[in-house]
């Protein structure tokens, strides 16, 4: 049974209330459509369960929801908290605005609060650093001030160069997508059935290549199509939307999808909108475009679109990915679960010495009862 968030690779925790589905501390379920989600308490994303036992788990969730007295319900959505601590979200037949408020409101609001706190902490730390440096400059050489004002630029450079995704290109070569590539990557119109693709800038995955000046200053880009584009766009937009959005912005984003009629229809419109904004840039600037030198997103790029458009793209990609997964055999979704589990397993062991693993295995073996039910006291 999968226990790791597909999106942030965090531990989904466990519950003892739903015997058929002991994963998660917050479960959302839709009995009519047969959907069961585990809500990650770390990133607030809804992980659609690909498990074959989900029908029995949904029935157990329905019984637990009806039996608890601590609950609030509207006509279409209900919230119940069990004594054990598990929170259940029962989804009926809500309109898109109501469903989006429950599904996306928490995660976008939480991102917004986290971004505000992070920004405030950074400004406070920067003020203290500058004040201390100014005080030191009274008895130091005048060039000290020059060092003070280069600190924010160095922090910005470090932030922009952080790797947000590790992928493989069309030649199966490893590549890295950095945060600054959100400033130039964008949705593009396509002639295939989906009506849109995603153009992703990146750097080669091998560090020795990335360190050479020739390759570092060269722009690398690739076009991703179809179902791969859906999953990739969702992941990249989560980083582009790291500041989240308020309730009003979420409602505006949902309204954009409603005007298009369906999430699948909105994405080609978003690609056309991105193209219109991007086309306004002078051709001279596009011919010499270098992501290394950009300090802010270009218009029409993943990070350069309006906030409500960015949120709408993230919503639409998530819902379309789930629809395709449910229409198929969930193989792609299960593969993403396995990948998340593997990444989390590797991350957990990065700083654990081998002797610790050996000790844990020895203790586990010692505490297992023998054939007579006795436990070793060695």
pTM given for the model: 0.67
Mean pLDDT of 89-99: 75
Q: How far apart are alpha carbons 228 and 334 in whole angstroms?
A: 14
pLDDT tier at 275, thresholds 50, 70, 90:
very high
Give me the pLDDT at residue 361, please. 60
Mean model confidence pLDDT for the chain: 77
306 against 50, higher pLDDT: 306
Give me the pLDDT at residue 334, please. 64
Mean pLDDT of 240-245: 87
Give me the pLDDT at residue 167, please. 86
Mean pLDDT of 75-90: 86
Contact 27, 62 (CB under 8 A): no
139 against 288, higher pLDDT: 288
Contact 175, 258 (CB under 8 A): no
pLDDT over 50 (residue 71):
yes
Mean pLDDT of 190-204: 90
Q: Which of 183-187, 192-196, 358-362 has the lowest mean pLDDT?
A: 358-362
276 against 95, higher pLDDT: 276
Highest mean pLDDT among 142-156, 223-237, 286-300, 359-373: 223-237
Contact 80, 62 (CB under 8 A): no
Mean pLDDT of 355-372: 57
User: Could you tell me what percentage of the chain is helix, strand and coil, using 3-state DSSP and rounding each to the nearest 5?
Assistant: 50, 15, 35
Mean pLDDT of 118-135: 53
Q: How far apart are alpha carbons 185 and 199 in whole angstroms?
A: 6
Give me the pLDDT at residue 185, please. 94
Mean pLDDT of 212-240: 80
Give me the pLDDT at residue 140, please. 43
Q: How far apart are alpha carbons 315 and 238 in whole angstroms?
A: 10
Give me the pLDDT at residue 118, please. 60
DSSP assignment of 291-334: GGG-SSPPTTSTTTS-HHHHHHHHHHHHHHHHHHHHHTTSHHHH
Angle 121-124-130 from CA coordinates, rounded to 5°: 140
pLDDT over 80 (residue 370):
no
């Amino acid at each position: 049974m999968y226990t790791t968030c597909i999106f942030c690779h965090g531990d989904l925790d466990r519950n003892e209330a739903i015997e058929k589905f002991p994963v998660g501390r917050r479960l959302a379920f839709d009995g009519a459509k047969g959907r069961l989600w585990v809500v990650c308490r770390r990133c607030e994303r809804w992980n659609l369960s690909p498990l074959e036992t989900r029908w029995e788990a949904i029935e157990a969730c329905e019984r637990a929801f009806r039996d608890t007295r601590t609950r609030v319900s509207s006509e279409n959505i209900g919230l119940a908290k069990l004594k054990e601590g598990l929170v259940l979200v029962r989804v009926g037949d809500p309109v898109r605005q109501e469903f989006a408020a429950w599904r996306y409101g928490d995660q976008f609001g939480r991102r917004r609060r986290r971004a505000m706190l992070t920004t405030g902490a950074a400004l406070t730390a920067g003020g203290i650093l500058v004040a201390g440096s100014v005080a030191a400059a009274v008895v130091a050489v005048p060039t000290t001030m020059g060092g003070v004002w280069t600190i924010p630029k160095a922090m910005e450079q470090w932030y922009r160069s952080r790797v947000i995704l590790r992928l493989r290109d069309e030649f199966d070569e490893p590549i890295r997508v950095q945060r600054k590539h959100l400033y130039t990557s964008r949705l593009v119109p396509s002639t295939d059935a989906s009506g849109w693709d995603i153009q992703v800038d990146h750097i080669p995955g091998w560090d020795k290549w990335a360190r050479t000046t020739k390759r570092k200053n060269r722009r690398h880009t690739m076009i991703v199509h179809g179902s791969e584009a859906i999953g990739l766009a969702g992941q990249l937009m989560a980083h582009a939307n790291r500041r989240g959005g308020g309730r009003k912005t979420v409602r505006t984003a949902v309204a954009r999808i409603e005007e298009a009629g369906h999430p699948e229809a909105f994405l080609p419109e978003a690609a056309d909108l991105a193209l219109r904004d991007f086309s306004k840039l002078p051709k001279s600037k596009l011919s010499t475009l270098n992501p290394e030198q950009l300090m802010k997103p270009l218009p029409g790029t993943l990070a350069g679109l309006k906030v409500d458009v960015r949120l709408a793209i993230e919503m639409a990609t998530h819902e379309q990915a789930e629809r395709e997964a449910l229409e198929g055999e969930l193989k792609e979704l299960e593969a993403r679960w396995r990948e998340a589990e593997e990444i989390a397993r590797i991350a957990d062991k990065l700083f654990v010495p081998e002797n610790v693993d050996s000790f844990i295995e020895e203790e586990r073996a010692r505490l297992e009862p023998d054939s007579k039910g006795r436990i070793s006291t060695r």
